Amino acid sequence: MKTKTVFISDLHMFSRRSKPEQYLLDIKEAAKSANTFVFGGDIFDFEWTVFDSVEETVDTAAYWLDSLVAGHPSCSFHFVLGNHDFNLELMEQLDRLSQKHNHFQWHRYFVRIGNALFLHGDISGSMEHNDLIAARVRCLAHQKKSKALHVLYDAVVHTNMHNVIAKTANPAQKVIRNIHSYVMSLGEGYHTGLRSVYFGHTHVPVEGHEYGGISFHNGGAPMKGIRFKVIEAEIGQSNGASYGREE
Ligand SMILES: [Mn+2]
């Protein structure tokens, strides 16, 4: 029996600032060879969409996801939302997909599978779960950025400043400490058998940084000057059960 789990995050599909196309084949290959596939948030980007409307973006996103899931019936898919794809219309489509496919589940904030926890990582400071909910509700309020901001952001990406900003704004140690304290606020941690955490959001690759007896991993993002990869997650799967918290 296959016991391969893969994790990706931050494709930011449909955003002008991301280049996920070159990895779509890797993603299909991963789905073919894995028995569990976890999406860690910001897979789609409604805030920076290249389409005219969020509706069109959501429809295209759902179509892509549906095709991937339908094409790999022996793989269990878990879709965890990020701040950029925390969108009500997408959630409706995810509900539809989970009714259509037994091997597809989605989660607003995180999923624990075996001894691993998967979450997006839009955590700042000593944030607890209620703070994250409040921040996500604020995300709902500004779903599409103006053209002027697009142009400004493109200029920043073009000069490669984006990478510099990502690195200096998110020193790995501090980010990991914050994520660890958020995870503890969920009642999860080393004491509950947790051994690894997979996250995204920062666009800074992290390869097994140890903190509090737990190893932290981040696969980066497919953007200019930033590394990206499909991570093979090591999880002790006692019974394959998974759970999240949806409110
Ligand atoms: Mn994010």
Report yes or no on 245 lying in a domain. Answer: no
* Residue 32 CA, ligand 1 centroid: distance in Å: 26
Helical H segments across 34-128, by residue range:
54-71, 88-100
Report yes or no on 169 lying in a domain. Answer: yes
Report yes or no on 70 lying in a domain. Answer: yes
* Residue 124 CA, ligand 1 centroid: distance in Å: 12
Report yes or no on 242 lying in a domain. Answer: no
* Residue 120 CA, ligand 1 centroid: distance in Å: 7
* Residue 121 CA, ligand 1 centroid: distance in Å: 7
* Residue 85 CA, ligand 1 centroid: distance in Å: 8
> Per-residue pLDDT tens for 59-98?
999 999 999 999 999 999 999 999 999 999 999 999 999 9
Write down the pLDDT at residue 153: 58
10 Å Cβ neighbour count for 25? 9
Which two structure tokens, joined as six digits, stand for 160?
Answer: 């490669």
Residue 243 pairs in a beta bridge with 112
Report yes or no on 244 lying in a domain. Answer: no
Mean pLDDT of the chain: 88
Query: Which of 9-13, 141-145, 217-221 is the least confident region?
Result: 141-145
* Residue 10 CA, ligand 1 centroid: distance in Å: 7
> Per-residue pLDDT tens for 149-192?
555 556 555 555 555 555 555 678 899 999 999 999 999 999 99
* Residue 35 CA, ligand 1 centroid: distance in Å: 25
Find all residues with CB under 8 Å of 181, minimum gap 6, and list them: 126, 127
Report yes or no on 241 lying in a domain. Answer: no
Residue 64: domain span: 5-236
* Residue 202 CA, ligand 1 centroid: distance in Å: 7
Which two structure tokens, joined as six digits, stand for 230?
Answer: 């499909």
Kindly indicate the confidence band of residue 240, based on its pLDDT and cuts at 50, 70 and 90. low
* Residue 71 CA, ligand 1 centroid: distance in Å: 27
> Per-residue pLDDT tens for 103-120?
999 999 999 999 999 999
Cα–Cα dist 88/227, whole Å: 30
Find all residues with CB under 8 Å of 111, minimum gap 6, and list them: 38, 78, 80, 105, 117, 118, 119, 242, 243, 244
Cα–Cα dist 10/82, whole Å: 8
Number of domains within the chain:
1
* CATH code of residue 225: 3.60.21
* Residue 104 CA, ligand 1 centroid: distance in Å: 22
Query: Which of 17-31, 104-118, 146-160, 231-245 is the least confident region?
Result: 146-160
- Tokens 């409604």 correspond to what residue? 46
* Residue 9 CA, ligand 1 centroid: distance in Å: 9
Sheet containing strand 231-233, strands side by side? 104-107, 76-80, 36-39, 5-8, 231-233
* Residue 42 CA, ligand 1 centroid: distance in Å: 5
Which contiguous run of DSSP H or E holds residue 197?
strand 196-198
Report yes or no on 246 lying in a domain. Answer: no
* Residue 179 CA, ligand 1 centroid: distance in Å: 13
* Residue 239 CA, ligand 1 centroid: distance in Å: 30
Report yes or no on 243 lying in a domain. Answer: no
Whether residue 86 contacts residue 135, with contact meaning beta carbons closer than 8 Å, is answered with no
